[in-house]
Structure 1
Amino acid sequence: MTGTVIFDPLLPWVVLGVLAVLGALMLAFAIWRGLSGWWLRGLSLAVLLLALANPALQEEDRQPLTDIVIAVVDDSASQRIGDRPDQAAAALARVEAEVASLENTELRVVRLGDAEGDGGTELMTALAEALAEEPRARVAGAILITDGQAHDMALAPQMPAPLHVLLTGREADWDRRLIIRNAPAFAIIGEPVTLTLRIEDQGAVPAALGSEADLTIAIDGAEPQTYRVPVGEDMELPVTLPHGGMNVLQFQTAVTDGELTDRNNAAVVQINGVRDRLRVLLVSGEPHAGERVWRNLLKSDAAVDLVHFTILRPPEKQDGIPVSELSLIAFPTRELFVEKIEEFDLIIFDRYRLRGILPTSYLENVRDYVTNGGTVLVAAGPEFGSADSLYRSPLADILPVEATSRVIEEGFRPALTDLGRRHPVTEGLDDLAPEGGWGRWFRQIEISAKEGGQVVMQGASDAPLLVLAREGEGRVAVLASDHAWLWGRGYEGGGPQLELLRRLAHWMMKEPELEEEALTALATGQSLTISRRTIKDAPGDVTITGPDGTETVLPMPEVSPGRYAADWDAPEIGLYRLAQGDLSAVVAVGPSAPKEFEETIASGEKLEPVTEPTGGGILRLEDGAPDIRAVGEGRVAAGRGWIGITPRGAYVTQDIRVAAILPGWAWLLLAAGLALAAWLREGRFGGKAGRPG
């Protein structure tokens, strides 16, 4: 219980001040006149003024409140290295025991993990949020159990009490990390792009470690290559992308005995390969209604360089027109089919027949071009079943079909085969069909697929209509009809002509998104969407290897014909490896080398600016957990083997009682008595002090 005097004046304080001044002047006049009772008059005036100020005694019943100590425990990824979790657990247990032994003191424990995305360790944010939940007048101190690698120091709160850091890790720790200084998001296929890398050592690096390290580089999971590179220097690495679409480049430096962690020894760079210009050679055997389809498709893409070779006047045509009067110039067949054939990304034979214009040796070059990685598409017409068919040329060695002499001249609706519903070139095309189904075609060349040929579309009498195949390192496709243009004209509703031809061309040019067998993963935040595409049987479960080496086996249900997918939440950011049968993939959740592993050596350097102003200290846990003492406000709160908290003495008022010191009549009686005493004294002793009676 405490008591204080309070005032509730009957008149404003300004009026009381004026009255006090007037009373002081009158008292001074009495003293000047030498009145013997001047001091009694002064007391009477003071009593009256005090009565008007209305003093009262206020008594409070107070209940003391406990002091609060906040302990923030860093559970981020870098705190899970080595024996740091054990150090943190032991330190927290010691803090809990020490605070429990202090009178009138409570402990609040706050844990924080990795920040969302690549935010790192938001230590100051966690401390500020913990302070906001407690009355600042009760906070006696805060303790951070961490490795000191905070990434939000700009958000450090103002502390009302000492702030201490209990540092995990050890002074002898050292680590090696791989840094990607710069990497472009896009690059042109076939042209080198420069990446800047650096291998860097941190901490108490052993002198015998050396100044070089092994660096392993792999693209899209291919056979890695290892190089010996310097440590502590920026390296410029030229890389040439092998294909279009996303190229995944994986870099890794060898793990060295004694280093703190290997989590930052690897990095993944994803570069989207784009083609500068796509070169296509279109060879049209004769003018026909579908010829314009191919030309329009290829000319509509500004990234395509089209060379169109059309035979308008075959050699056997005898019309009497002198050659000198023809407007056409001689086509550079030797240059195209011998000297520069390797520069083309795709060669299309559209209703071409053997007329002696292209010698057999040129067609042999085309065959070799395919086996060495080139692509050929044959859009067949009636001539494909004749004696001058391409099938009866050296190209027969690579074509995935055998031709008969039959040409089917009847209406039919193209349809997807079971394989076609799963193949990336044709899957989902049924969904693009107009109401009532695709429009009819009216001509088909009878063919049969060879072993290895993939029949994805069928036509009249379920005969093969579109056959795909891989030959050597290249690809070949045969479309056994020249009536695809009917879809483009919208006949009987038409069909997905442009989409089919676009996919077909892109598959032949080996675009990754149209591969038949593919395992891919897309990271959105910390959620992975894993997809598997196959034209074979169900591929089974996928094995996911996390950054810490733990493996997770995930089933993949079929979501559509030939497509299997699963969503999975990654427990932490880092590099994940996926394996399913003979396919593998690598995906980075967040950056492959996140902020948590940029600096792994425990250090209190970043936290010194926020602990020093509070009088707190930074102590290493490898020297032992400290004692906790109570210290006065403003005094040094840390020393060797101990840290201090400042008791705040906070309380809550439970009851208040207010009572007047004297009733009003008592004040009046006292003032009147003093005034009467002054009058009597002045009457007895005369008007002046010291005058004889």
Structure 2
Amino acid sequence: MTAALILDPLVPWPVLWGLAGFAAVLLAVALWRGLSGWWLRGLTALVVLAAIANPSLQEEERAALSDIVLLVVDESASQGLGDRAAQVEAAIAGVEAEVARLENTELRVRRFTDAPEDGGSLAMTALAELLAEEPRARVAGAMIITDGQVHDVELAPTLPAPLHVLLTGREADWDRRLIVKNAPAFAILGEEVMLTLRIEDQGAAPGESAVDLTIAVDDSEPQTFRVPVGEDLDLPVTLPHGGMNVLQFSTPAAEGELTDRNNAAVVQINGVRDRLRVLLVSGEPHAGERVWRNLLKSDASVDLVHFTILRPPEKQDGIPVTELSLIAFPTRELFVEKIEEFDLIVFDRYRMRGILPMSYLENVAQYVRNGGTVLVAAGPEFGAVDSLWRSPLADVLPVEPTARVIEGGFRPALTDLGRRHPVTEGLEALAPEGGWGRWFRQIDVVPRAGQVVMQGADERPLLVLNRVGEGRVAVLASDHAWLWGRGYEGGGPQLELLRRLAHWMLKEPELEEEALTATTSGQELTVRRRSIAEEPPGDVTITGPDGAVVVLPMPEVSPGRYELVWQAPMMGLYRLEQGELTRVVAVGPSAPREFVETIASGAVLEPVVVPTNGGIARLEEGVPDIRTVREGRPAAGRGWLGITPRGAYVTQDLTIAPLLPGWLWLLLAAGLAIAAWLIEGRRGAKRISASA
């Protein structure tokens, strides 16, 4: 129960102060004139003014409220390292016991995990939310159990009490991490791009000067190098192929380090061709020759070298073979000195006319084995005596001509294999109404190797693809593809077919027959498999960043295509394996934000803790005692942390009563006034008597 005196004047305060001033003037005059009852007159005025001020006695019945201690618990991924999880649970139990020991004190606990989309540890956000749920007048202190690596320290709320940090981890902890400082999104094929890597040790590291660094591109055999620790490493990289190149960097886990989740990194660089160099050799002018030229010239990134043999040597007009062109055919330069500079060589209805020596064609065959690509667009000459088949190039060709030329209309069609092959799959959906237009000539060939993806008259092979050594060869057994481009009988997907064919020969990854790819959206992992095999490829094995292995089936979504959508349980590097194919994909960053800095430290939170007079204590030394301290005093010491009692209360009852009743005020004022009059009257009579 508490009491207080309150004033509720019967007149406005300015009027009351004016009356007080008037009374003071009258009292001064009485004192000047020497009136003997001046002090009684002053008391009378004071009583009247007090009555007008209307004093009242206010009594409150208060109930004390308990103090509140806020406890924020960091349960993010980094808190699972070492024995930190056990430290957290022990700390919670210890704080609960200490708060329970204090009188009139309650504990509020808020746990938080990793923020979505790799947001890290948002400890200050959790503290602000918990603080908003409680009356600030009752908050006596706040504590955070964390490793100190928080990522929203700039959002720290203003606290009315001390903030303390209970730090998990140990002084002896150390960790090694791999950092990719710069990596471009695109790079030009054939040109070096510089990556900057750094292997860094944190904490109480053993002090190794060099470690092994393993580098792998896509699913190629990894290579290991010895690199220094704590130094920037400039790594020149030349991309092996166009499209997305996945570069994997890793360093082995060392004994005693906290985690190997940050020992690996994946960099994805899209390889683009600066200029595509194509050599097109046309054996004779024909209606389809312009098709190849228009296709290759339509792409500004293509450097096309095109030669057409306009007149055959057997034409008897006395002109030497070396003078059949206005520009001499630089055969030695193209087929000996600079053949390796070409990305694609196209023989369009070419026949052996003595212009290219056999040794040059042997160079072309070797060029294919070494990784080059050759496309043969065959006409009637392919089955003749001067066919390319009768040259050293026959060693790399996947078909053998029968010397038969099939004349007559037929509609090209996809084979069963062609419906699954990336070069031709889906082309049937591009057919005009009524189906593809007809072609009218086909060279009869017998496949010796490779894949027949299109067939023509009498289901004879029309388009055959093959791999030879490191290179690729394709044979189109007709010179009537141009009819599709002209729209004859509705035409067909001529440009799309030739574009895919050229890209497959240039080894674009998206057109590989056997491919395992993966894309991510948030933590959703989409795995795709393309295969031309008749049997399903089987289950895919997914190895997570924590070593957990999941084996999942891949349903077929279209001929030769299989797809799986899977929700990844955590961020990090996932390894996919299916048969001989492997792929590494990063869900989120290679090393999530929680594993970039793993050594427990109070440095990040110190600027927030110090202004509140709080402290930072390591849990490996035990859970500190909790004491009460006065507001404004230091709230942390060796082995103890302090909270400031707030003394909050709630008013349960309120009583207001006049200090004196009105009649008593009137009686006091009248009595004092009469007393003053009587005193002054008697003394005045005495003075008159004395005068007489």
Bin for the TM-score computed over the shorter chain: over 0.9
Q: How does 1:278-677 map to 2 (within 5 A)?
A: 278-318=276-316, 328-451=326-449, 453-536=450-533, 537-664=535-662, 666-677=664-675
Any conservation in 1 of the 2:66–2:138 contact (CA below 8 Å)? yes
CA distance in 2, matches of 1:542, 1:493: 43
Q: What per-residue deviation string (whole Å, max 9, x for no partner) do you get for residues 131-175 of structure 1?
A: 223222221111111111122222222221111111111111122
CA distance in 2, matches of 1:644, 1:690: 80
CA distance in 2, matches of 1:513, 1:601: 42
CA distance in 2, matches of 1:692, 1:558: 136
Between 220-229 and 367-376, report the one with greater CA deviation.
220-229
* 2:128 counterpart letter in structure 1: A
Q: Normalising by structure 1, what TM-score?
A: 0.94
CA distance in 1, matches of 2:608, 2:59: 41
CA distance in 1, matches of 2:60, 2:487: 93
Between 329-338 and 118-127, report the one with greater CA deviation.
118-127
1:374 Cα deviation from its structure 2 partner = 0.8
* 2:199 counterpart letter in structure 1: I
CA distance in 2, matches of 1:316, 1:420: 40
Query: Are the structure 2 counterparts of residues 429 and 682 from structure 1 closer, same or farther at C-alpha, using a change threshold of 3 Å?
Result: farther
Q: Secondary structure at the match of 1:559?
A: strand
CA distance in 1, matches of 2:486, 2:248: 48
1:326 Cα deviation from its structure 2 partner = 6.7
Between 577-586 and 121-130, report the one with greater CA deviation.
121-130
Aligned counterpart, 2:149 = 149
* 1:43 counterpart letter in structure 2: L
Q: Secondary structure at the match of 1:49?
A: helix
CA distance in 2, matches of 1:568, 1:5: 73
Q: Normalising by structure 2, what TM-score?
A: 0.94
Q: Secondary structure at the match of 2:608?
A: helix
CA distance in 1, matches of 2:510, 2:166: 51
Any conservation in 1 of the 2:411–2:436 contact (CA below 8 Å)? yes
Any conservation in 2 of the 1:36–1:690 contact (CA below 8 Å)? no
Between 230-239 and 487-496, report the one with greater CA deviation.
487-496
Gaps of 5+ in 1: none
1:358 Cα deviation from its structure 2 partner = 1.8
Query: Are the structure 2 counterparts of residues 16 and 549 from structure 1 closer, same or farther at C-alpha, using a change threshold of 3 Å?
Result: same
Alpha-carbon RMSD: 2.5
- The equivalent position to 2:268 in structure 1, one of 270, 275, 285, is 270
Gaps of 5+ in 2: none
CA distance in 2, matches of 1:689, 1:488: 143
Any conservation in 1 of the 2:313–2:321 contact (CA below 8 Å)? no
Any conservation in 2 of the 1:36–1:687 contact (CA below 8 Å)? no
Query: Are the structure 2 counterparts of residues 101 and 412 from structure 1 closer, same or farther at C-alpha, using a change threshold of 3 Å?
Result: farther
Instruction: Report % sequence identity.
Output: 77
Q: How does 1:60-209 map to 2 (within 5 A)?
A: 60-206=60-206, 209=207
CA distance in 2, matches of 1:483, 1:181: 53
Any conservation in 2 of the 1:556–1:564 contact (CA below 8 Å)? yes
Any conservation in 1 of the 2:288–2:481 contact (CA below 8 Å)? yes
Aligned counterpart, 1:27 = 27
Query: Are the structure 2 counterparts of residues 26 and 481 from structure 1 closer, same or farther at C-alpha, using a change threshold of 3 Å?
Result: farther
Any conservation in 2 of the 1:35–1:689 contact (CA below 8 Å)? no
Query: Are the structure 2 counterparts of residues 428 and 325 from structure 1 closer, same or farther at C-alpha, using a change threshold of 3 Å?
Result: closer
Any conservation in 2 of the 1:574–1:591 contact (CA below 8 Å)? yes
Query: Are the structure 2 counterparts of residues 52 and 529 from structure 1 closer, same or farther at C-alpha, using a change threshold of 3 Å?
Result: farther
- The equivalent position to 1:254 in structure 2, one of 252, 255, 260, is 252
CA distance in 1, matches of 2:315, 2:24: 138
Between 80-89 and 429-438, report the one with greater CA deviation.
429-438
Q: What per-residue deviation string (whole Å, max 9, x for no partner) do you get for residues 434-485 of structure 1?
A: 333333323222233324x212222233322222111111111112222222
Q: What per-residue deviation string (whole Å, max 9, x for no partner) do you get for residues 185-241 of structure 1?
A: 2222222222122222221223xx431212221111321222122222222121221
Any conservation in 2 of the 1:685–1:692 contact (CA below 8 Å)? no
Query: Are the structure 2 counterparts of residues 324 and 591 from structure 1 closer, same or farther at C-alpha, using a change threshold of 3 Å?
Result: closer
Query: Are the structure 2 counterparts of residues 672 and 534 from structure 1 closer, same or farther at C-alpha, using a change threshold of 3 Å?
Result: farther
Any conservation in 2 of the 1:34–1:687 contact (CA below 8 Å)? no
CA distance in 2, matches of 1:573, 1:691: 114
* 2:476 counterpart letter in structure 1: L
Between 491-500 and 368-377, report the one with greater CA deviation.
491-500
Any conservation in 2 of the 1:349–1:377 contact (CA below 8 Å)? yes
CA distance in 2, matches of 1:83, 1:324: 84
Q: Secondary structure at the match of 1:591?
A: coil
Between 53-62 and 356-365, report the one with greater CA deviation.
53-62
Between 675-684 and 625-634, report the one with greater CA deviation.
675-684
* 1:524 counterpart letter in structure 2: S
